[in-house]
Amino acid sequence: MKLPKDILTIPQLSRQNIERILSDAFRFKEYKGAPKARDQVLEGKSIALIFEKNSLRTRVAFETAISALGGHPIFLAGDNILYRAKSDTSRESIGDITQNLDRLAHGIAARVNNHKSLTDIAGYSKNPVINLLCNEHHPTQALADLMTIQWHKGKTTGLKVAFIGDGNNVATSLMDICAVMGMDFSIGSPAGYEIPRKFQDIARSIAAQSNSKLEFTNDPKKAAAGADVIYTDTFVSMGNEAESKKRTGDFKAYQVNAETMKCAKDDAIFMHCLPAHRGDEVAAEVIDSKQSVVFDQAECRLHIAKSLLYLLYK
């Protein structure tokens, strides 16, 4: 089944889309060397990578994936492009920037501060646009998360995924992919830090069709109860640094530690999208334990990047 032109959010994708993305991602994972000749779908093509925010795993994964499929990645610092495009004294608008890139490159992948920047870019671009993270969604991370779960659990059906912490972009996309795939999802967040209601409602409508059970609670232990996967993320995301002191207090009871893991199943795995802060959102005894799969999870970012690019350009 053909993918949408743009990959901006998980709800854009059908279950069949996601299953195909995972299938090709596992195929790329099994390659010990370079992808096969038939996979060189980006030969002679360049992809513009726009980053308004810092990145380690996403940038390296996509630059490596583009090169592996025969293409050329072009890194563009977002503070030199999109920030000025959105200011009153802008040198060039997002529309003009995008239409220029459409003539000079063959696609755009962007990590931006505001989701509207992505929808604007996608609206102007005739080429594929991939969301590499915004303030609302992180679809490529969710796809890598699902691949990690499949890798370690051998399945995605009949599982419960529990997210402990801030109802941020990572939590939203994880909720979405669980809903699409018919997996149960529970999130324990402090009051005031829940996943926005508008995104909960979208996921609920999807879950009603897939028989996924969604749970939203302020009790981290209730969220973790009987889970196959325990997941957390930083309590202070990029852009929230000014709230660091307040968030540290508000999230004090939400650290994933040995007591949290005891609430889950004995064979539960621990996941974190990284970077992690030992002693804050997760205890070292958990992230450095045998239950932790965080570096396998990071590796999956590369395989998902290859799969998405392959399916968009083949």
Catalytic residue among 111, 137, 247, 303: 111
Is 106 a known active-site residue? no
Catalytic residue among 247, 272, 301, 303: 301
Tell me if 225 sits within 8 A of 252, measured CB to CB.
no
Is 138 a known active-site residue? yes
Catalytic residue among 166, 233, 247, 263: 233
Is 303 a known active-site residue? no
Catalytic residue among 273, 297, 300, 303: 273
State how far the Cα of 277 lies from the Cα of 42, in Å rounded to an integer.
37
Is 291 a known active-site residue? no
Nearest Cα neighbor of 132 from 301, 265, 274, 295 is 301
Is 178 a known active-site residue? no
Side-chain half-sphere exposure of 39, counting CA atoms within 13 A: 21
Is 141 a known active-site residue? yes
Catalytic residue among 39, 141, 150, 178: 141
Q: How far is CA 266 from CA 155, 213, 229, 239, 258, in A?
A: 17, 21, 10, 36, 12
Q: How far is CA 89 from CA 86, 92, 120, 196, 309, in A?
A: 8, 9, 19, 33, 35
What are the residue numbers of the active site?
A: 111, 138, 141, 233, 273, 301
